[in-house]
Amino acid sequence: MKSINIFCCLLLSILSLEGTEILREVEFHDGTRLLLKLKDETITFKRFLSNNKIKTIELKLSDTKELHLTSASPVERLKKITDLLEQLRDENFKQRENAAAKLGSLGDGFQDILKTNIDDSLDPEVRWRLRRILSKLPPKSSLAFDQIRSETGKLKGQVIKFNGTTQYHGAELKLDRESVKSIKQISERFNPDGYFIINDEYSPDIPITNIKIDFNSSLKGKILRAGENINKTYESIGVSFLSMRQNSYLTVSPKEIEGIKHGNSATNHRPLFEGNISARFCNPINPAESRAVSFLGLHVGLVKPGGTTLTAYDSHDKKIEATTNKDGHQFIGIMSKTPITRFTISANTDIDTTFSFDDLIFTNLQNTNGPNDNKTTLLTLKNGDRISCERLTFPSEINKKDQWLTAFPAAKGLRQLNIKMSSVASIKINNLKSDEENSSPHLWCLLEDNSTIKIHLPPELSPNSELGNFSLSELKINALWSSKNTLNYYDGELTVPNEGAAILIRRDPVYVEDYVFNKDSFEGIRKDSSKIKYKFSRMPSIWFRKKINKYELSTNLKLVDGQNIYCSKQSLFSIQKITNTHIILSAAEKKVCSIPLAKINSINF
């Protein structure tokens, strides 16, 4: 009897293990990222070995820290490439030509194997053909193999028959190679602000799929020389540099950073090794467009503890700083839940003015305005899930609790979702537009609730707001400035007179005791009775209040033209309704404003 009980307990434990679920972040090819409970299934993996042989192994999903899938079958592609490399040595000229052409179409992702064959081949024609193929291939933009980081290390090869199902917000979700890009274990190192610093270049927390820049050669294989301007050299893989010192630029130096084998390091040109450097992530096809990454890391040299700081800025422009704490050289990496759009490297002149850096690595580029520009809408939930949607259906009453949003995901295998509005963090609909040089002059107005709105300047008429058609006298204004200028802030405390204003032109503010808005100008009277007058079209920054009130804000609307509307019971505007085409706002004086969704950049809850 006792043995039967033991057997039953063992059987129950085995069954419970088979049904074990693990929490993982799953990224789809369209940019959707979800936290999902997955079955801890066994993965069959054909591992690619250094001698070009394949070994089949099996491991549990729970044993993997990261799993990245390619869109094609890598083992099959590798076999074709190996055969084509052999055909480059064929006696038949047409056969060699045909093999080279096919390698050009299959080689993206296998650039390292082609480079190895250049070094290993004794045939000058083979080396010449492979160099030509590499020069025409893009920078390594796709994964050649499926990749796994397990408990024992990094593996590359191919996952066999990857598929499965799980539940997400009540809908069944299919997981397969066509839809899933990666599956990652969620790091426990993230602090409450959503980031952590890595100072170990061999840390298992560094993502296994990175773009690497070693500053030895350009993307076309050209050797870089000291003094050469490389600000734009790597834009076609997504990063653009800028020296923060006037009349200087990023260049390379033969000065090696300790710990890195041979090659250049990157630094400022004039003076060498001095002056801060900035970089931003960009669209390789159109570098003027911004992109973002979840991780960046680099080796920094010629440093002292506290002497050099790597500062990353996320898509909300929040700063993440990591400062050197060693002598000579150090690896610094930053992992962030909120995508990083740009970074700076700066020296603390009180400690050390010099630095250089090398081996910059960063993860795949993300679109900060949504996965596919204006083709889809990016829905972000408060738990960090990001869902690329073809369309959304909003509830009839947006401000009531327990209302449901219906989302129609773009990802394959993900069906219609019903999501509580209380769990929604933001919705990005369109890209921000850059200021048009030929746009008609207007004023920018910062309201008491921190909203920024446009003020029209119609000829022969008084200024009025674009939203709600309010006159300046009807608005609770904190600051006002011309569209031809930028808003200036005062470092100290403004002592704005009652019923007066502070004008910021140079370092010190000019105060007026009284002022009036004319049809085309601002006119103020100083304490000594002298008058100051500015045309609206060229008006500097004018502050009317000392500080911004802190309201309990429920929703924030960012418009594509730069207007920023905060909505609450105390604010000028509040959201009345969201339809499939418009956002309806109610405002003071019982006014109603209708904004097309085509003019909305994002809705933040």
Q: How many CA atoms lie within 13 A of 475 on its CB side?
A: 30
Place of tokens 């032109």: 505
Query: Under the phi-then-psi rule, with left for phi > 0, alpha for psi from -120 to 50, and beta for the rest, what region is 254?
Result: alpha
In the three-class reduction of DSSP (H, G, I as helix; E, B as strand; rest coil), residue 300 is classed as strand
Q: Which residues pair with 250 in a beta bridge?
A: 268
Angle at 265 between CA 261 and CA 270, to 5 degrees: 160
Is the pLDDT assigned to residue 468 strictly greater than 90? yes
Provide the pLDDT confidence category of residue 134 given band limits of 50, 70 and 90. confident
Residue 69, phi then psi, degrees to nearest 5: -110, 145
Provide the pLDDT confidence category of residue 156 given band limits of 50, 70 and 90. confident
Angle of helix 111-120 versus helix 74-87 axis, rounded to 10: 30
pTM of the model: 0.78
DSSP class of residue 276 equals -
Provide the pLDDT confidence category of residue 548 given band limits of 50, 70 and 90. low
Question: How many angstroms separate the CA atoms of 408 and 581, rounded?
Answer: 16
Are 199 and 330 in contact by the 8 Å Cβ rule? The answer is yes
Are 58 and 43 in contact by the 8 Å Cβ rule? The answer is yes
What is the structure's pLDDT at 16? Answer: 41
Mean pLDDT of the chain: 87
Provide the pLDDT confidence category of residue 198 given band limits of 50, 70 and 90. very high
Provide the pLDDT confidence category of residue 142 given band limits of 50, 70 and 90. low
Is the pLDDT assigned to residue 12 strictly greater than 50? no
Contacts 24+ apart (CB under 8 A), 317-325: 318/193, 320/193, 320/195, 322/197, 322/199, 323/348, 324/300, 325/199
Question: How many angstroms separate the CA atoms of 600 and 559, rounded?
Answer: 4
Domain ranges of the chain: 74-136, 210-362, 373-423, 429-605
What is the structure's pLDDT at 550? Answer: 61
Q: Which residue has the higher pLDDT, 349 or 506?
A: 349
Q: Which residue has the higher pLDDT, 572 or 545?
A: 572
Element (H, E) at 445: strand 443-447
What is the structure's pLDDT at 6? Answer: 41
Q: How many CA atoms lie within 13 A of 412 on its CB side?
A: 9
Question: How many angstroms separate the CA atoms of 449 and 92, rounded?
Answer: 77
What is the structure's pLDDT at 274? Answer: 93
Are 243 and 232 in contact by the 8 Å Cβ rule? The answer is no
The tokens describing 337, both together, are: 């839940």
The arithmetic mean of pLDDT across residues 505-528, rounded, is: 92
Which residue, among 598, 581, 565, has the nearest Cα to 470 in the 3D structure?
A: 565
Q: Report the range of poorest mean pLDDT among 207-216, 349-358, 419-428, 535-544.
A: 207-216
What is the structure's pLDDT at 261? Answer: 66
Angle of helix 124-136 versus helix 93-106 axis, rounded to 10: 30
What is the structure's pLDDT at 407? Answer: 93
Amino acid at 394: F
pLDDT tens-digit readout, 89-133: 898 999 999 999 998 888 777 777 887 788 778 788 988 988 888
Tell me which of 1.20.950, 3.40.1350, 1.10.287, 2.60.120 is the CATH number of domain 210-362. Answer: 2.60.120
Residue 134, phi then psi, degrees to nearest 5: -65, -35
The tokens describing 115, both together, are: 């480079």
What is the structure's pLDDT at 145? Answer: 85
The tokens describing 225, both together, are: 């020389």
Residue 30, phi then psi, degrees to nearest 5: -90, 5
Q: Which residue has the higher pLDDT, 372 or 37?
A: 37
What is the structure's pLDDT at 371? Answer: 46
Which residue, among 598, 605, 604, 556, has the nearest Cα to 581 in the 3D structure?
A: 598
What is the structure's pLDDT at 301? Answer: 92
Question: How many angstroms separate the CA atoms of 421 and 430, rounded?
Answer: 20
Residue 437, phi then psi, degrees to nearest 5: -60, -35
Q: How much is the CA Rg of the chain, to the nearest whole Å?
A: 29
Which residue, among 293, 331, 299, 332, has the nearest Cα to 314 in the 3D structure?
A: 293
The tokens describing 389, both together, are: 């949607």
Buried b / exposed e over 466-495, threshold 16 CB at 10 Å, is bbbebebeebebbbbbbbeeebbeeeeebe
What is the structure's pLDDT at 10? Answer: 39
Are 36 and 26 in contact by the 8 Å Cβ rule? The answer is yes
E-strand stretches of 216-316: 239-243, 250-253, 265-268, 277-281, 293-303, 308-314
pLDDT tens-digit readout, 360-409: 999 988 876 554 445 789 999 998 899 999 999 999 887 666 789 999 99
Burial degree of 533 (CB within 10 A; 0-12, 13-18, 19+): exposed
Is the pLDDT assigned to residue 143 strictly greater than 70? no
pLDDT tens-digit readout, 219-267: 877 889 999 999 999 999 999 999 999 899 999 999 888 777 678 999 9
In the three-class reduction of DSSP (H, G, I as helix; E, B as strand; rest coil), residue 39 is classed as strand
The string of DSSP codes covering 14-25 is HHHHHT-EEEEE
CA distances from residue 456 to 158, 558, 582 in whole angstroms, order as listed: 60, 18, 22
The arithmetic mean of pLDDT across residues 37-66, rounded, is: 88
DSSP class of residue 201 equals T
Question: How many angstroms separate the CA atoms of 440 and 454, rounded?
Answer: 12
Residues ≥6 apart with Cβ < 8 Å to 251: 226, 227, 228, 229, 230, 266, 267, 268, 269
Place of tokens 């990157």: 266
pLDDT tens-digit readout, 60-97: 999 999 999 987 778 788 888 889 989 998 989 999 99
